[in-house]
């Protein structure tokens, strides 16, 4: 009797402990991202930090579909690319002003929502696998169009352009009485720092917007549709319209992430926005962090991005440290980093079957 009574209490304590661990990890990541220009002033580290911010938005917006609504889509990079390309083309044609960012970004978001509505209304009535194939075809067509319309998109070479002057590395954000740029903990307060915080706060606003959507009545309806579509339909909810609505919202947010990416990189091309490899990264990040958990996007995007950028460096160090051991240096050769990244993913899925956040919340510190 006591054992039966205490077991749920133990599970509750374990779940509470797990959530505290997850929130602790998220807190550390948030602090590192906020102070990234000061903690990691080199160009590569800032690129990783900005990429994590943008991919947190992308992964969370995709989780609105697959995690909260049960929609499997392969068109997320299409909307991401539309936001980036529209902003890039506007900056190229109109010059490096905020009017180009606003007009180009608004156009990218508008076209993304329109395409999402068309695809959703026409395809969300069919079975999940057929809808996934439709979105895959749409994304493939968009990638081909980006390559073919080279007069506007730059083709395979992409577009290089200038961004608003405040984001130029030569811009002095803070100066002393002599006009010399001030430093914060030894780091120059210049336009590069402004560009990073534009990405950081833009991503933060979009992320909190998604948290609000999940906590709203709309989020509750979406979860009900995911759990039992027929029952939700029987209760009077128009499932297709709700699915189309969240598909449009996710598309708009992905397009906004594309705007941030375009402004940060000052370059937009098929490989940076429309590549199917990006779609695979998003899927892996969702699985690693945990489906149906907005906080999982933060951990998933961070783990995957850090592994992609720094695993080769760690393997190089490990290979040099084990130079005297037979076979080990060959196994740790940096050229085999994809093999070890795959093994890392398999281990994460095995020990965290519901994703890192999902598993910690269920079982506490015993994943």
What's the CATH number where 204 sits? 1.10.3470
Range of the domain at 116: 22-363
What pLDDT score was predicted for residue 4?
42
Tell me how many domains the chain contains. Answer: 1
Q: Give the pLDDT confidence of 326-341 residue by residue, as tens digits.
A: 787 888 888 888 888 8
Query: Is 13 within the bounds of a domain?
Result: no
Query: Is 116 within the bounds of a domain?
Result: yes
C-alpha to C-alpha distance for 268 and 155, rounded to whole angstroms: 10
Query: Is 11 within the bounds of a domain?
Result: no
Query: Is 8 within the bounds of a domain?
Result: no
N residues, the chain: 367
What pLDDT score was predicted for residue 300?
93
Q: Per the confidence metrics, is the pTM higher than 0.75?
A: yes
Sites in the chain below the pLDDT cut of 50: 1-11, 364-367
What pLDDT score was predicted for residue 173?
72
* Contacts for 79 with CB less than 8 Å, ≥ 6 apart: 112, 115, 116, 250, 251, 252, 254, 255, 258
Query: Is 250 within the bounds of a domain?
Result: yes
Query: Is 258 within the bounds of a domain?
Result: yes
What pLDDT score was predicted for residue 59?
95
Query: Is 12 within the bounds of a domain?
Result: no
What pLDDT score was predicted for residue 363?
58
Helix 239-265 vs helix 217-227: angle between axes, to the nearest 10 degrees? 110
Beta bridge partners of residue 175, listed in sequence order: 181
What pLDDT score was predicted for residue 321?
82
Query: Is 124 within the bounds of a domain?
Result: yes
């Amino acid at each position: 009797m006591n054992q039966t009574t205490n077991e749920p209490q133990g599970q509750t304590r374990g779940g509470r402990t797990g959530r505290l661990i997850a929130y602790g990890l998220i807190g550390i990541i948030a602090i590192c991202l906020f102070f990234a220009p000061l903690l990691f002033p080199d160009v590569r580290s800032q690129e990783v930090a900005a990429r994590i911010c943008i991919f947190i938005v992308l992964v969370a917006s995709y989780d609105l579909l697959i995690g909260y609504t049960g929609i499997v889509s392969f068109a997320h990079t299409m909307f991401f690319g539309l936001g980036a390309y529209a902003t890039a083309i506007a900056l190229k044609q109109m010059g490096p002003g905020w009017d180009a960012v606003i007009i180009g970004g608004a156009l990218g978001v508008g076209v993304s929502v329109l395409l999402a509505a068309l695809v959703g209304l026409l395809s969300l009535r069919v079975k999940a696998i057929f809808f996934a194939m439709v979105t895959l075809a749409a994304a493939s067509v968009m990638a081909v169009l980006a390559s073919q319309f080279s007069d506007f998109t730059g083709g395979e070479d992409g577009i290089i352009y200038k961004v608003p002057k405040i984001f130029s590395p030569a811009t002095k954000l803070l100066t002393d009485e002599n006009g010399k740029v001030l430093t914060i903990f030894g780091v120059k307060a210049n336009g590069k720092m402004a560009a990073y915080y534009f990405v950081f706060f833009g991503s933060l606003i979009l992320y909190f917007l998604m948290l609000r959507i999940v906590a709203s009545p709309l989020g509750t309806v979406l979860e009900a549709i995911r759990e039992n579509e027929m029952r939700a339909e029987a209760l009077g909810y128009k499932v297709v319209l709700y699915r189309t609505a969240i598909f449009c919202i996710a598309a708009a947010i992905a397009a906004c992430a594309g705007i941030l990416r375009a402004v940060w990189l000052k370059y937009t091309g098929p490989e940076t926005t429309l590549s199917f490899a990006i779609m695979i990264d998003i899927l892996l990040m969702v699985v690693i962090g945990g489906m149906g958990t907005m906080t999982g996007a933060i951990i998933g995007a961070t783990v995957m991005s850090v592994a992609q950028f720094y695993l080769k460096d760690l393997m190089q160090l490990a290979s040099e440290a084990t130079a005297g051991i037979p076979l080990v240096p060959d196994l740790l050769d940096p050229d085999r980093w994809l093999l070890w990244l795959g093994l890392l993913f398999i281990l994460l899925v095995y020990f965290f079957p519901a994703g890192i956040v999902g598993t910690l919340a269920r079982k506490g510190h015993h994943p």
